[in-house]
Structure 1
């Protein structure tokens, strides 16, 4: 499945940093039950890959990916754990090649026109816009739209349920990513029902991007 096809499954991609892999399936189950079938688990903790493995095995209907990929070797490790996509905060040509070699869909991060042009030369037209709020936000994305009509974005960084509709209204935003579906207090209390309800709100957000239809 291409990265664009993965992202088209959901308007919101929960980005999870998991310290204890034992809670991963309960957390993912709440998100999936709420209507969010695409989940990104970052590699910022030692539990990251184990969490990916547990979630991928427990929910084969979901699209589980890894985030904060900083090294070429991460792609093969992610694939072996059951991830179907990988997200990096930046764009390095060698990493795009490593993702292809590992057979895993790749979502690199970009911030500038030069980076978008580099991505297009590498055959990448579905990109993470990061950090979104600090890099021009909705206004910046709207400026990119007529210049790069073939490119769609998943903005991440500083997004909330309050500003999410503005991002999803952009014609070049296929989905958004972040922690808006997993409130810190609900996570701390392991209140899975509260997370399911928040996920349902996120899953109901409308998006205008034609690529998401």
Structure 2
């Protein structure tokens, strides 16, 4: 079992080459492989499949079986039972919208890294006390955006963040310019309307543009 420092290093390695994390809500299982291929063709190979739809766990398992070269994380994980389920499905990491003691313990004791969601310094300190140093900032823009990330850099010098929520192509560069931003997450790279319309080439173009901005 990996220690939390080892899990921190693993998370850093996952985003060393591309600091983008598209959030994908799967409405049709048939979309999973062409969507992943479209993103991969654009240079984005680390994906977050959320549990916002009932197909999330099936989509993770399918990608692990059919696209083993991609790194697949699980998002919108709300409790320890979901953590266990996505870990069993083959997720490489877990992302949560907030942090609870139950989830922080699951991430500490689990086999894969957890990126706990925080929106305040107090929430950050809850995870920090247990040894967490990488966090999802959600909802980033509402919580304070780039200004909050800059403020966190003072008291939490070894913490880094993946801002999600309100991140767009227009403000992507401002987030990525912050030295304590490990990655940036969002759905603008693969908007639901493009997925629904199966406009895979357009998604590839958006992925390429995001990679170029990074």
Question: How high is the TM-score relative to the length of structure 1?
Answer: 0.92
Following TM superposition, by how much is the alpha carbon of 1:60 offset from its aligned partner in structure 2, in angstroms? 1.2
Matched residue SS, 2:178: coil
| Structure 1 counterpart of 2:86 | 78
Structure 1 runs of 4+ aligned residues shifted over 6 Å read none
Checking the alignment, whether the CA contact within 8 Å between 2:71 and 2:92 is kept in structure 1 is: yes
Q: Give the Cα–Cα distance (whole angstroms) in 2 for the partners of residues 170 and 82 of structure 1.
A: 31
| Structure 1 counterpart of 2:135 | 127
**Structure 1, residues 21-58: CA drift from partner, whole Å, max 9, x if none?**
12111101111111111100100111111111111222
Matches within 5 A, 1:51-62: 51-62=59-70
Checking the alignment, whether the CA contact within 8 Å between 1:9 and 1:37 is kept in structure 2 is: no
Matches within 5 A, 1:198-213: 198-206=206-214
Q: Give the Cα–Cα distance (whole angstroms) in 2 for the partners of residues 131 and 185 of structure 1.
A: 22
Counterpart check, 1:166 vs 2:141: no
Aligned length: 206
Matches within 5 A, 1:100-179: 100-179=108-187
Q: Give the Cα–Cα distance (whole angstroms) in 1 for the partners of residues 66 and 189 of structure 2.
A: 20
**Structure 1, residues 124-146: CA drift from partner, whole Å, max 9, x if none?**
10100000000111111111112
Question: What is the alpha-carbon root mean square deviation over aligned residues?
Answer: 1.3
Q: Give the Cα–Cα distance (whole angstroms) in 1 for the partners of residues 122 and 15 of structure 2.
A: 23
Following TM superposition, by how much is the alpha carbon of 1:4 offset from its aligned partner in structure 2, in angstroms? 2.6
Counterpart check, 1:32 vs 2:40: yes
Following TM superposition, by how much is the alpha carbon of 1:10 offset from its aligned partner in structure 2, in angstroms? 1.9
Question: How high is the TM-score relative to the length of structure 2?
Answer: 0.92
Q: 2:202 aligns with which of 194, 205, 209?
A: 194
Q: Which runs of 5+ in 2 are unaligned?
A: 1-6
Q: Give the Cα–Cα distance (whole angstroms) in 1 for the partners of residues 156 and 210 of structure 2.
A: 27
Q: Give the Cα–Cα distance (whole angstroms) in 2 for the partners of residues 27 and 103 of structure 1.
A: 27
| Structure 1 counterpart of 2:188 | 180
Q: 2:55 aligns with which of 29, 47, 53?
A: 47
Q: Give the Cα–Cα distance (whole angstroms) in 2 for the partners of residues 68 and 83 of structure 1.
A: 13
